[in-house]
Amino acid sequence: MTDDSKTTTRAAIVFGGSRGIGAAVARRLARDGADVALTYVSAPEKAAETVAAIEAEGAQGLAIMADSADPVAIQAAVATAVKRFGQLDIVVVNAGIFRWGPVETYPLEQLDLMLDTNVRGVFLAIQAAAPHLAQGGRIVTIGSNTAVRNSFPGSSVYSMTKAAVATMVKGIAIDLAPRGITINNVQPGPIETDLTSANLEMLKPLIPVGRVGQPREIAGLVAYLASEESGYMTGASLTIDGGMSL
């Protein structure tokens, strides 16, 4: 006799999931019942810690070294996840970098790197994963509130890449809608992680709620967008920044 109350385990891949927001998302998806593969470029020990946290939730975890600017590595990462889990239901594209600098002196190589990782890399990850997604699959990109509000000198290139992601999501939503696949973009404001905590105090006065965000708060929003309940939302960019963009 079968137990109809049991649900089939979903499978997810989180690009850039070894630490910070990506790790929080990976852990939350595991807590919600998904097996999770994650990619990383550096800090393999952080990736291993996140896999251990995923497995502590009773889910399967898998860390894959893959540079999000490398299309071959991205394709291989998706293939590895699908082979391990047998399916793919959720894709979260969190990988990204930021390089600040004034327009007059911004190095061309840094511009190319930002575009390759933050725009081209996002597109390539979605392109690689989309053919494997089942009907009703979910894609979530992690953008930035700088796509909405940019008031800091030297942030023009970063803001441009995040605005490009928000626009990209709208077009891809139309492409994938016939398959019941949704794609939405989360735009965090300042978030406390091991990479950013030293520079966040100066931003608190600019945030109406009086504090910076926590990775788990972004993970909670991603979890909703990855759930069945979010099926009527697609192509949206949701800003979560404590009112900073108001």
pLDDT on residue 242 = 96
Q: How far apart are CA 92 and CA 88, in angstroms?
A: 11
pLDDT in tens, 16-30: 999 999 999 999 999
pLDDT on residue 133 = 97
What CA–CA distances, in Å, run from 195 to 20, 21, 154, 191?
A: 8, 11, 19, 10
Q: How far apart are CA 113 and CA 36, in angstroms?
A: 27
Q: How far apart are CA 209 and CA 98, in angstroms?
A: 25
pLDDT in tens, 128-167: 999 999 999 999 999 999 999 887 888 999 999 999 999 9
What CA–CA distances, in Å, run from 26 to 57, 93, 208?
A: 11, 11, 29
Average pLDDT value for residue range 71-76:
96
Q: Is 168 helix (H, G, I), strand (E, B) or coil?
A: helix
pLDDT on residue 6 = 38
Third-level CATH fold of 10-240: Rossmann fold (3.40.50)
Element (H, E) at 41: none
Q: pLDDT over 90 for what percent of the chain?
A: 83
The C-alpha angle with vertex 164 and arms to 92 and 12, in degrees rounded to 5, equals: 5
Question: Which of 65-79, 122-136, 197-211, 218-232 is predicted least confidently?
Answer: 197-211
Q: pLDDT over 70 for what percent of the chain?
A: 95
Residue with tokens 């990204």: 96
Whether residue 88 has pLDDT greater than 90: yes
Element (H, E) at 182: strand 182-188
Q: How far apart are CA 172 and CA 137, in angstroms?
A: 13
pLDDT on residue 128 = 97
- pLDDT band of residue 178 (cuts 50, 70, 90) is very high
pLDDT in tens, 115-131: 999 999 999 999 999 99
More confident residue, 176 or 196: 176
Whether residue 101 has pLDDT greater than 50: yes
**Candidate list 40, 106, 158, 224, residue with the active-site label:** 158
pLDDT on residue 4 = 40
More confident residue, 174 or 98: 174
With 0-12 CB in 10 A as exposed, 13-18 as middle and 19+ as buried, what is 35? buried
Whether residue 187 has pLDDT greater than 50: yes
The structural domains of the chain, with segments of one domain joined by +, span 10-240
Q: How far apart are CA 167 and CA 117, in angstroms?
A: 16
- pLDDT band of residue 198 (cuts 50, 70, 90) is low
Residue 232 bears catalytic tag: no
